[in-house]
Amino acid sequence: MKKNIIFAAFAFSAILTSCEGYLDRQMETTQDEDITFSSYETAINVAYGTYSDLPQGLSQIWGSNGSAMLASASDEAEFTNQTHSVQKFNTGAWRPTDLPDNPMSNYYAAIRRAYDFIDNVGRVNHDDVKDNPSQPGVYEERLANIEQLKNEVMLLRAFYMFEMVKRFGGIPIISGKLDQDVDYSTIQRASLEDCVDEIVRWCDETASVLPPRQPDAELGRLTRGAALALKSEVLLWAASELWNNSSWASGYAHPELISLPAGDRAARWKAAADAAKAVINLIPEAGYALDEYSNLFGPTGYRSSEIIFCRRDGAGNSFEKTNLPIHFDLVTGGNCPSQNLVDLFQVKVDDDMAVDFDWSNQDMVSDPYSNRDPRLAAFIVTNNSTFKGTSIQCWTGGLDGAGVRNATPTGYYIKKYVNPDLDLLAGATSIHTWIYYRLPEIYLNYIEALNEYDPDNADIKIYYDLIRDRADMPGLPSGLDQDEVRRLIRNERAVELCFEGKRWFDLRRWMDEDALGADLRAVEITRNAADGSFTYKPYILEHRSFDPAKMWFYPIPQSEINKMPHWAQNPGW
């Protein structure tokens, strides 16, 4: 029986697991297991169910007044409703007892589900197809699929581990289900180094056996490219500043939980570059290729040749109801791009030159969205632009601007992921795809690492230019020093990957305290009644709070510290 992991909305609810405290004792019974693993179809549903905990980035942080993206906790965006839980990140009000983004329960439940499958799938009775002449080859297909699924769930285990490690640092390495009589005192946080080694090991092991691509009928299942891409990201973190610098937590008794042992940073950067290059080398087999942005972030994005690993959700329209310009029917207001982000989109002078936007340049300020990086128009709705067949009025007093309840507080609306063709009044819905890894991110991983240990490497310009060419922007200028190239690579990462859940973590691994604590800026737009022209003035919308004594990592949730008081809390919390 074929299953299409991303082609279907997950409705699977595992029989053997729950989403209670993430290290709670398992309460299944032998009878439960007998039922679940009584047939091939129900058994493999346990494996497919492990996919159901993949993060839903379009609605990462839930609240009573809509769901927010993680972008609204970074300098990329502001959420319209000021009482939403995402604002706790922005005001510094998050605590071990109140963590707006806390995936521990889901991810450890998913890991438990993975071990349920691996431990029990051997009990499946295949008598209905084994040596059955009316179903030739079915038995062999089943066994092959089970073996592949074992590797998929172990790669998912690695993925979920990394999602926790980049938030919390060293976590317990769980290598099986927890029995009812588990001694909690034996469950310890592992060192960051051990966690990295564990994740990389499973990336290597699964990459050696998973196929480079899945058939169309199995689109969404993990591949060799996903394993290599995860390894690329993990090793990029392992080379970056945060995991190589515990000086910010002076006096902390357990630096091994938040940093790697002292080592050769150049070797770590080389390992990160090599890991990214392994994904690039897979392109001929996997068929990866850059795509049109309209395809990539549209309703059929899950089919894009650019995607390495993604989650496709079932048809819906909640993202549009949250994020469309406010004058459209049924829209409530949501994630609004910041002026901080908009300013990162360069001005194209000609085919060979681009410059940073400059608010002191009156020619730029008088027409701020002219000659900008085309990705600005592709990803963000700006004032007086046409969207859904109408001119968007972000000016004060306009249909979408200041003075309208729940209108954008920044002067902008998000366009990336939004399906402009939906008729919300008619109840129209659309597929939405959340991307974990796509080809340009791998290019950016590669050139960031190269620039740190081999800044004269010609591949830096080659792969930087591939991303820029697709965006119709000039390539990397010649004659730049390492610091200047680093700034452009980081800027390119912010622009190309905006709203994809990367910026929040990139700023931390770079230890970019200035950006993390920067005021969030917006633009005041005034329409001149005499001639219909506009005046633009940037201003500080919100003072963002970042405490460098603790906010590089999340706190361990207090609910887990209460169960395991022998655990060390993260520094400052």
Provide the percentage of residues in the chain whose pLDDT is more than 70: 94
Q: Residue 380 forms beta bridges with which residues?
A: 414
Confidence of residue 183 (pLDDT cuts 50, 70, 90): confident
DSSP per-residue letters across 281-309: HTHHHHT-----HHHHTSTTGGG-TTEEE
For 329, phi and psi rounded to 5 degrees? -60, 140
Cβ proximity of 508 and 552 under 8 Å: yes
Q: Where are the alpha helices (DSSP H) in 216-361?
A: 224-239, 265-281, 283-286, 293-296, 318-323, 339-342
DSSP per-residue letters across 70-119: GGGGTTTEEES-TTSTTHHHHHT--BTTB-SS--HHHHHHHHHHHHHHHH
DSSP per-residue letters across 457-513: -THHHHHHHHHHHHTT---PPSS--HHHHHHHHHHHHHHHTTTTT-HHHHHHHTT-H
Predicted pLDDT of residue 31: 54
As a whole number of angstroms, the distance between CA 315 and CA 299 comes to 9
As a whole number of angstroms, the distance between CA 488 and CA 344 comes to 10
Confidence of residue 388 (pLDDT cuts 50, 70, 90): very high
Confidence of residue 179 (pLDDT cuts 50, 70, 90): low
Residues contacting 217, CB < 8 A, separation 6+: 2, 4
pLDDT in tens, 361-380: 999 999 999 999 999 999 99
569, burial (CB in 10 Å: exposed 0-12, middle 13-18, buried 19+): middle
pLDDT in tens, 545-558: 999 999 999 999 99
Confidence of residue 10 (pLDDT cuts 50, 70, 90): very low
pLDDT in tens, 236-252: 999 999 999 999 999 99
pLDDT in tens, 418-445: 999 999 999 999 999 999 999 999 999 9
Count other C-beta atoms under 10 Å from residue 503's C-beta: 22
Residues contacting 370, CB < 8 A, separation 6+: none
Residues contacting 158, CB < 8 A, separation 6+: 198, 199, 202, 203, 206, 230
Predicted pLDDT of residue 182: 66
Q: Which of 18-27, 130-139, 194-203 has the highest mean pLDDT?
A: 194-203
pLDDT in tens, 197-255: 999 999 999 999 999 999 988 999 999 999 999 999 999 999 999 999 999 999 999 99
Average pLDDT over residues 63-69: 84
Cβ proximity of 356 and 346 under 8 Å: yes
Distance of alpha carbon 108 from its chain centroid, rounded?
18
Question: Angle at the Cα of 401 (from 399 to 403), degrees rounded to 5?
Answer: 90
Among candidate residues 498, 377, 488, 408, the one with its CA nearest the CA of residue 76: 498
Predicted pLDDT of residue 30: 53
Cβ proximity of 298 and 416 under 8 Å: no
Residues contacting 232, CB < 8 A, separation 6+: 272, 275, 276, 278, 279, 442, 445, 446
Helix (H) / strand (E) element for 430: namely strand 430-438
- In CATH, the architecture of 207-315+433-474 is Alpha Horseshoe (1.25)
Among candidate residues 405, 400, 425, 395, the one with its CA nearest the CA of residue 532: 395
Query: Is residue 14 predicted with pLDDT exceeding 70?
Result: no
Cβ proximity of 545 and 8 under 8 Å: no
Residue recorded with tokens 């990367």: 502
Token pair belonging to 492: 């390119």
pLDDT in tens, 456-514: 999 999 999 999 999 999 999 999 999 999 999 999 999 999 999 999 999 999 999 99
Confidence of residue 178 (pLDDT cuts 50, 70, 90): low
Q: Residue 535 forms beta bridges with which residues?
A: 526
Helix (H) / strand (E) element for 539: namely strand 534-542
As a whole number of angstroms, the distance between CA 100 and CA 425 comes to 31
Residue recorded with tokens 């295949």: 126
For 213, phi and psi rounded to 5 degrees? -150, 155
Cβ proximity of 266 and 453 under 8 Å: yes
For the chain, the average pLDDT equals 93
Confidence of residue 6 (pLDDT cuts 50, 70, 90): very low
Q: Map out the domains of the chain as residue ranges.
A: 207-315+433-474
Cβ proximity of 104 and 560 under 8 Å: yes
Exposure string for 408-423, b = 16+ CB within 10 A, e = fewer: bbbbbbbbbbbbeebe
